[in-house]
Amino acid sequence: MAGQVFPISAVPVTSGLTFPSLLDLAHPEGLGFPASLSGDAIWRLFFRMPPTLPTGTGKLLIVGQANATSGVAKLNVKWKSWGANEVPLASSLIAEGVANLTFATTAYRLTELKVTMDADTFIGGELVQVDLTGETASWTLAQVLSLRASIIFE
């Protein structure tokens, strides 16, 4: 996919509720969430934007997989960016809102979700932090979830 940026780092912020996962040997490792969330669970992703940004609108592409034929994973996307000579702690995360990754019919089917990231502006060469939060409210997925995320421009 043209204009796709993969994370350079993924940190499981919520100990015990987030973990690296390898759900299916045919697909790369992912960001794991347990079958049942006992609280909000956060993965912190870092992306390095290319010096010249691709054309199009920036979106977080989330690809999920679970041994599920039904259920919803409620994901809250928040982000910020910073460049050289800026202090990351001086800025707050900006919410893009909550989106639902819905599973239906076939177990292990790859399910995609695109979240438009327009609450701020991407700048070439900057570092982008994305906090991807699985929210317990309305989380009905009863199986382990494995996610992969990238930023795309389309």
**CATH number, domain containing residue 127:** 2.60.120
pLDDT at 6: 92
- Is the pTM value of this prediction over 0.85? yes
Total domains in the chain come to 1
φ/ψ of 90, rounded to 5, equals -80, -10
User: pLDDT band at 105, cuts 50/70/90?
Assistant: confident
pLDDT at 24: 67
pLDDT at 27: 64
Give the residue carrying structure tokens 């999920």. 64
Q: Which residues pair with 145 in a beta bridge?
A: 33, 66
Residue 66 has pLDDT above 60, yes or no: yes
Query: How far is it, in rounded angstroms, from Cα 128 to Cα 123?
Result: 9
Query: How far is it, in rounded angstroms, from Cα 139 to Cα 68?
Result: 13
Residue range 125-136: mean pLDDT, rounded: 95
Residue 20 has pLDDT above 90, yes or no: no
Q: What is the pLDDT of residues 131-149, one digit of tens each?
A: 999 999 889 999 999 999 9
pLDDT at 40: 94
φ/ψ of 88, rounded to 5, equals -55, -40
CB within 8 A of 16, min separation 6: which ones? Answer: none
pLDDT at 25: 62
Q: Domain range for residue 125? A: 4-153
Query: How far is it, in rounded angstroms, from Cα 11 to Cα 19?
Result: 9
Residue range 68-94: mean pLDDT, rounded: 92
Residue type, 21: S
